[in-house]
Amino acid sequence: MSTVSESGVVSAVNKELFIGGKWTAASGGRTFPVQDPATGEVLCEVADASPEDGIAALDAAVAAQADWAAHPPRERGEILRRAYDALMARQDELALLMTLEMGKPLAEARGEIAYAAEFFRWFAEEAVRIDGGYATAPNGSGRFLIAKQPVGPSLLITPWNFPMAMGTRKIGPAVAAGCTMVIKPAAQTPLSMLALAQILADAGLPEGVLNVVTTSSAGSVMEPLIRDGRARKLSFTGSTAVGRKLLEQCADKVLRTSMELGGNAPFLVFDDADLDAAVEGAMQAKMRNIGEACTAANRFYVQRGIADEFARRLTERMAALPIGRGTEDGVVVGPLIDEAAIEKVSELVSDAAGRGAKVLTGGATVDGPGHFYQPTVLTDVPQSARMTSEEIFGPVAPISVFDTEDEAIAKANDTEYGLVSYVFTSDLKRSLRVCERLETGMVGLNQGIVSNPAAPFGGVKQSGLGREGGTVGIDEFLETKYIAVSL
């Protein structure tokens, strides 16, 4: 892509707050910079919302709630379908915008736009399938009516690593259910959400249904909205540490919550696995989004008989990955999001090496501008290494060996997290045993990608609460009302 087209994509996005269907400057005209993580250069400035701006956005959502809840489900679905069509029609443009602000290679960014759009198509179809129930009371004296109604104004907080898909995964079911929203995108990647807001407005979403506040001070803007009492739902994707704080805040007004938090995914390879498929799955599970994903394989446990060959093949694949700015042809590994991410990955690799792990490839930053880290493979990683208990969020694959099935499961479950696991084996009985014993909300069995809008996404333990996507995804934005009818 040329510099001109890059500039044009950025300049086409409105960089103000989107409140009550209008674009408006932040209080006092404050702004904050958005940087290209591949160069460190500032792409643009966007509005920096104040707490007062946040309240104005909530005011707009509250004012629009009653009318939106009464909006015909079919029409809500048609709005989402038009937005889906627009996302797909503008896939290349939106992918470039995402690559510029987040860093992922263009091919992956295009894939994310398609993935993001699919949430709108899925929930467009779910909008007309909200049902209830009718039953006779056990003693025959009356009837039970069961209705599903919108939760109400919802607060949505999205992360930087999937700046479009994490937005549509929350907005889609909220729109389908009849909930109004205030959404706060991550400060590192606000442009994708701002572009999405305009797409939804153009698709016919009424004023006040979606309100977007961009801010460099998430806590000061969002906490007052949580404690206000008028919002009835919070959906958050981000770290477990922040999720805990938000849950404490939500307890004050007893808000409904959906929490998609951290992960520490184990990747188990048994000696009867198809090794080619296991290595391919490892590349997908580790290197999707440059390793910056809560679903990324964080710990590789390989049965002793095939451990050396698995490590050799994975090292060969990782070492061959082209690194560079995501807009360059052929690049597979883009930059990490910021300097803090580089520092954390470097610390975790140094810690593991200091405890006896061997670096087979990578293990260092890349010279020059931007936040680049080499694809890295480590072996003989001890359980005491920090990276066995902390999310790496980078292109680092630590490999450890196990001997028995029980040992593999014990190591896999030895974490406070429980988002996703990956299992590679050709033994059907073992597949069922292991999948049932793993303490995670999702399992990739002989595949390295689990995310799908038609499936319920979410974890157990400290990886979160609730599910996004699938037939249950809309339930997070619906309340169940029971009406007792006397005869």
Is residue 127 in a domain?
A: yes
CATH assignment of the domain containing 441: 3.40.309.10
Q: Is residue 301 domain-shared with residue 377, that is, in the same domain?
A: yes
Domains: count for the chain: 2
pLDDT digits (tens, 9 = 90+) for 416-442: 999 999 999 999 999 999 999 999 999
**Residue 7 structural domain:** 3-262+464-486
Residues 174-200, mean pLDDT to the nearest whole number:
98
Percent of the chain exceeding pLDDT 90 equals 99
Question: Do 196 and 280 lie in a common domain?
Answer: no
Confidence of residue 5 (pLDDT cuts 50, 70, 90): confident
What is the sign of the dihedral through the CA atoms of 318, 99, 464 and 443? negative
Alpha-carbon span 156 to 173, nearest angstrom: 12
140 and 193 co-located in one domain: yes
Reduced to 3 states (helix: H, G, I; strand: E, B; else coil), residue 108 is helix
Note whether 275 and 410 are same-domain residues: yes
Q: Are residues 410 and 479 in the same domain?
A: no
260 is catalytic: yes
Are 162 and 237 found together in one domain? yes
Whether 110 is covered by a domain: the verdict is yes
- Please check whether residues 230 and 285 belong to one and the same domain: no
Tell me the C-alpha distance between 191 and 270, whole Å: 43
Amino acid identity at 244: R
Q: Kindly state whether residues 395 and 412 are assigned to the same domain.
A: yes
Q: Are residues 15 and 135 in the same domain?
A: yes
Determine, yes or no, domain membership for 402. Answer: yes
Question: Does residue 8 contact residue 192 with C-beta atoms inside 8 Å?
Answer: no
Render pLDDT for 246-287 as a digit per residue (tens, 0 to 9). Answer: 999 999 999 999 999 999 999 999 999 999 999 999 999 999
Going by the DSSP 8-state scheme, the letter that residue 368 receives in this structure is S
Catalytic residue selected from 101, 260, 292, 468? 260
Residue at 458 is within a domain: no
Same domain, 208 and 271: no
Nearest to 421 by CA among 119, 308, 411, 454: 411
- Whether residue 457 lies inside any domain: the answer is no
Q: Which domain CATH number covers 476? A: 3.40.605.10
